A and B are shown apart, each in its own frame.
Chain A
Amino acid sequence: MSGLGLAIAVRHLLARRRQSVVSLLGIVLGVGFFLSISALMQGSEDDFIARLIDNSPHITIQDKYRSPHRQPAEDAYAGGAVQVLRVKPETETRGIRGYQRVLAYLRSLPGVTASPVLDGQALVSFAGQDKAIALSGMIPAEIDRVSTIGKYMTAGRILDLAANPDGIVIGDQLAKDLSLQMGENLTVSATTGQTRTFKIVGLFHTGRANVDDGQAFVALKRVQALLGRANRVNSIIVKLSDPGAAQTLAARIEARIGYKSVSWQEASEDIMSLLLIRKVLMYAVVSAVLVVAAFGIYNVISTVVLEKQRDIAILKSMGFHARDILRLFLAQGAMLGAAGCAAGLPFGAALMVAITRISFRMPGSRDLTYMPVSWNWVQFAMAASFAMAAALLAAVIPARKAAQVDPVDVLRGGT
């Protein structure tokens, strides 16, 4: 009955051409807006995550444990060990023990680039002014492979720290606050009481205020000496060729070395949750457009069912089954949905092209920024699926009513 049912369905829709076209337009607009808005939102999310992945370590190995190590006494005297609280441990030089071995292990993993970092707090002084900063000690030759700081340099290079071990790279805002310029010296004091003078060999501008006015980079050895933590690092930055594998690999690394290994997903859990909520809200809003359009289809098919009571009765008297009638009207919903998708997807794609051409200049930026749009086929498939589902759901109620028509009731009063 499929060909016959489609033929009848087409004639029914053509018989109510104006109403069918109006409901079709609803679906076309719904699909178009669904596609363009969801592609824009997905594009901005992809762009945001790409920046997040690009600008953060994919995995950070920290000098702490997620849960305390099991003590040997606990193993030796199972059930016999007692916990003694408020016992101050002997002062210990914190850091990742045997970080060279950890680095060797990490570098043996495929697609992994790792570099050690020692972070600490320090005070910079210049011309009677003091400012607290975060001081990062790293290996200049390696840092470009695991960090994007190199691309934010506005003067000098990170690699200049290798040529000048007493060099320092600071944020441009910090330089401005302290009225410092390239080549000038500044004094850095650590919490240990150690003080050292560094020469400014580079300036960077990331656009993030807390980094630009509160961060400085120095060669690892110098920071180890300044902080009194020789041969220690307190984090290892890891970059992966496949950032998507960070979560799995972080768990694997942590299981192997014991130190807390935080993937970029875990570090950005709050942001990822926000993105998820944003996505749910966005789909709820754009789906509402299609739900409104589905009412148009419901209206057309309900009207056809009401008008075609006699036709339904005669088809049933001829031997059409109730399910044939059901399919006949569902087919009308499906045809409106399919036609809506056929016109709505190109319309949505045109809207997407128009959106990608919108440009604006971010405050403080010299470059034009364009709206990010995701051209992923998933957006097209979702728009089509939502539209078809909405159209079919809209057709279900009138189609069921049509299938339940009792031909005798209609024929008795239908002359």
Chain B
Amino acid sequence: MAQVLRAAGVGRMLSGEVPVTLVRDASLAIDAGEFVAVTGPSGSGKSSLLYLLGLLDRPTTGSVWLEGVDTSAFDEDALADARLRRLGFVFQSHFLLPEFTAIENVMLPMRRLGRLADDGIETRAMALLDRLGLDAQRDKLPSQMSGGQSQRVAVARALANDPAIVLADEPTGNLDTAASANVQGILRGLAHEHGRAVVVVTHDRDFAASADRRIVVVDGRIQDAGEAG
């Protein structure tokens, strides 16, 4: 499989009176179609690593390569464009815009990209909601949906611009068992059936165990980047 994401010696330090190191010398590579879980104790730097891989944050050392391109020279606009076109995010809280319906939330990234006409955007958003079993929720506001439904809308939104990589930060952390299993299945399917690279930060051992590979982060360092057990 083609390598879509690579980190080489990536570190992130917060400057201040007492400098804090969030991530130290992290190197890893992720292929298309790979489902990777990032685990580790709370505060170990898992989310910080995810933000660096997702080009939301800039490393203080090392660099991140997206589909073979070194992003260290990218300015803020270029990083934003890369996120818009090639990356999709799912967070622990769904972070849907509360004033917009489910379908409008899914349409947002597509409207920002402007690659499709309005009709095409609506059709694709509807197709994504259908695929995630949300066709009945299309015109509902986030406040009118359950946590699981909202999180699935967030997944649909992450997939809106057909990203190569989906990054999820504790996507099942706020869900009940059934909803969690549902979202896990969707994310796994994205990697295995749709060929996307999926990187999930999770505390859920079973979820991590079901990944193709498990990366363990302790004190900001990658301790183990081996195969999932």
Q: Take A314-B97, A411-B91 as given contacts and tell me if A319 and B56 are in contact as well, using a CB distance cutoff of 8 Å.
A: no
User: Chain B residues with Cβ under 8 A from A14's Cβ?
Assistant: 99
User: Chain B residues with Cβ under 8 A from A364's Cβ?
Assistant: none
User: Chain A residues with Cβ under 8 A from B174's Cβ?
Assistant: 415
| Contact (Cβ within 8 A) B112 A4 | yes
| Contact (Cβ within 8 A) A411 B56 | yes
Which chain A residue shows the least CB distance to B167?
A: A317
| Contact (Cβ within 8 A) B112 A411 | no
Closest 9 CB pairs of A and B: A319-B84, A11-B99, A314-B95, A319-B83, A4-B111, A408-B57, A415-B92, A318-B109, A319-B80
Which chain A residue shows the least CB distance to B76?
A: A322
User: Chain A residues with Cβ under 8 A from B157's Cβ?
Assistant: 318
| Contact (Cβ within 8 A) B112 A319 | yes
Q: Please, what's the 1-or-0 string for A375-415, where 1 marks a CB less than 8 Å from any CB in chain B?
A: 00000000000000000000000000000000110011011
Q: Please, what's the 1-or-0 string for B83-113, where 1 marks a CB less than 8 Å from any CB in chain A?
A: 1110001011101011110000000110111
Q: Does B207 contact A (CB under 8 A)?
A: no
User: Chain A residues with Cβ under 8 A from B65's Cβ?
Assistant: none
Assembly CA distance A324 to B108 (angstroms): 13
Residues of chain B whose beta carbon lies under 8 Å from any beta carbon of chain A: 47, 51, 54, 56-57, 76-77, 80-85, 89, 91-93, 95, 97-100, 108-109, 111-113, 157, 161, 169-170, 173-174
User: Chain B residues with Cβ under 8 A from A315's Cβ?
Assistant: 108
User: Chain A residues with Cβ under 8 A from B112's Cβ?
Assistant: 1, 4, 318-320, 324
Assembly CA distance A318 to B76 (angstroms): 13
| Contact (Cβ within 8 A) A321 B76 | yes
Assembly CA distance A321 to B81 (angstroms): 8
User: Chain A residues with Cβ under 8 A from B93's Cβ?
Assistant: 310, 414-415
Q: Does A282 contact B (CB under 8 A)?
A: no
User: Chain B residues with Cβ under 8 A from A411's Cβ?
Assistant: 47, 51, 56, 91, 169
In-complex Cβ contact of B80 among A15, A311, A316, A415 (8 A): A316
Q: Which of B92, B93, B97, B98 has the most CB of A within 10 A?
A: B97
In-complex Cβ contact of A319 among B51, B97, B109 (8 A): B109
Q: Does A8 contact B (CB under 8 A)?
A: yes
Assembly CA distance A104 to B108 (angstroms): 79
- Contact residues on A (Cβ < 8 Å of other chain), bracket: 20 to 34
| Contact (Cβ within 8 A) A321 B80 | yes
Assembly CA distance A320 to B89 (angstroms): 13
User: Chain A residues with Cβ under 8 A from B85's Cβ?
Assistant: 319
Q: Does A12 contact B (CB under 8 A)?
A: yes
| Contact (Cβ within 8 A) A319 B113 | yes
User: Chain A residues with Cβ under 8 A from B56's Cβ?
Assistant: 316-317, 407-408, 411
Which chain B residue shows the least CB distance to A313?
A: B95
User: Chain A residues with Cβ under 8 A from B54's Cβ?
Assistant: 317
Q: Please, what's the 1-or-0 string for A295-318, where 1 marks a CB less than 8 Å from any CB in chain B?
A: 000000000000000110111111
CB distance from B151 to the nearest CB of A (A): 13
| Contact (Cβ within 8 A) A317 B89 | yes
Q: Take A318-B83, A319-B83, A321-B77 as given contacts and tell me if A11 and B100 are in contact as well, using a CB distance cutoff of 8 Å.
A: yes
| Contact (Cβ within 8 A) B47 A412 | yes
Assembly CA distance A4 to B110 (angstroms): 10
User: Chain B residues with Cβ under 8 A from A322's Cβ?
Assistant: 76, 80
11 contacts between A and B (CB under 8 A): A3-B111, A310-B95, A314-B91, A314-B95, A317-B54, A317-B83, A318-B109, A318-B157, A319-B84, A320-B80, A320-B112
| Contact (Cβ within 8 A) A12 B99 | yes
Q: Which of A12, A320, A322 has the most CB of B within 10 A?
A: A320
Which chain B residue shows the least CB distance to A322?
A: B76
CB distance from B202 to the nearest CB of A (A): 14
Assembly CA distance A22 to B91 (angstroms): 36
User: Chain B residues with Cβ under 8 A from A415's Cβ?
Assistant: 91-93, 170, 173-174
Assembly CA distance A1 to B80 (angstroms): 14
